Amino acid sequence: MRSRYVVADGIRTHYLDAGDGPALVLLHGGEYGAAAELTWAGCVPLWATRFRVLALDLVGFGRSSKIRDFGGGQRGLMVSQVAAVLRTLDVERAYFVGTSLSGRMLLDMVNRADRPWPVEAVVAAGIGLAPPLAEGRKVLEDFDGTLDGLRPSMDVLFHDPVWRDSEDVLRRRYEFASMPGAWETGAAAALRSPVRKTRGGPPADRDYGSITVPVQLVRGEHDALVPPDTWQALADQIPGARTTTIVGSGHYPQIERPEAFGAAVLEFLEEL
């Protein structure tokens, strides 16, 4: 994997580049310490045998610029960032794999008529029709900037003790969570102006029945944030959606079980 940077629309984006062939864009989750190399390192070697893999650090995360948009919203800024990067790299068509936060972004993207990203197909992991369970989400959001403050999130993200109890994994996540501006960018999500009485967000009655691109939904067998019923309810809404469960894993099967996750995604994409 080659570590590269590109400045597009004023945002300095870090990304990993590997392989050759059709573009496969990878997007990470939204918890403190999230980054492309932590999320996708185990899957990239397999996928790079068939695709040009581009794993991006979203704005505010990893080694990308730490910027918060209080006007148009942070997700809107991420959408613009990815679109600008792909334009700059001359990527006109791509397959996308997203997890958690970015998995939701991808489904919302292909559910609209005007798509800023050139999406050919979507693999979305770690999401259901309903928002993540509140108890687990609160653990991910309550981070005080210390190493021990990040430790409780390991129980939420991982199931396998090899990953859940790993001090090395914890410290690597903390390395990214403690980069200059990383904590501030994440914590700023809780700031609300007294002038604005309402908080925007996705509608409670989502409907993904208009999606027309091929979709694969992946869930870790022991996902602490996404119960199987809400995951299946999402699959039931999307025409022709393929569902895959990765056994022995939690919220991030691409990290805990990269061989199984990578093979399932590759099979789906090769059929297309």
The enclosing domain of 102 has a CATH number of 3.40.50.1820
| 84 contacts 58 by C-beta, under 8 angstroms | no
Nearest 5°: CA angle at 172, between 34 and 64? 45
Query: According to the model, what pLDDT value does residue 37 have?
Result: 97
The tally of domains found in the chain comes to 1
Query: According to the model, what pLDDT value does residue 238 have?
Result: 97
How does 3-31 read in b/e, with b if 16+ C-beta sit within 10 Å?
eeebebeebebbbbbbbeeebbbbbbbbb
| 143 contacts 183 by C-beta, under 8 angstroms | yes
Computed over every residue of the chain, the mean pLDDT equals 95
Query: According to the model, what pLDDT value does residue 178 have?
Result: 97
Residue 205's pLDDT band, with cuts at 50, 70 and 90, is low
Residue 206's pLDDT band, with cuts at 50, 70 and 90, is confident
Query: Has residue 196 got a pLDDT over 80?
Result: no
| 132 contacts 113 by C-beta, under 8 angstroms | no
Cα dist. 90→25, 123, 260, 271 in Å?
Answer: 13, 22, 31, 25
Measure the CA–CA gap between 56 and 33, rounded to whole angstroms: 14
Question: Of 162, 184, 182, which is closest to residue 174 (Cα–Cα)?
Answer: 182
Measure the CA–CA gap between 109 and 103, rounded to whole angstroms: 10
Strands 23-27 and 52-56: parallel
Query: Has residue 86 got a pLDDT over 60?
Result: yes
How does 189-224 read in b/e, with b if 16+ C-beta sit within 10 Å?
eeeeeeeeeeeeeeeeebebeebebbbbbbbbebbb
What domain range includes position 57? 2-271
Q: Is 230 helix (H, G, I), strand (E, B) or coil?
A: helix
Measure the CA–CA gap between 236 and 215, rounded to whole angstroms: 12
Q: Write out the H or E segment, with its range, that includes residue 124.
A: strand 119-125
Query: Has residue 12 got a pLDDT over 60?
Result: yes
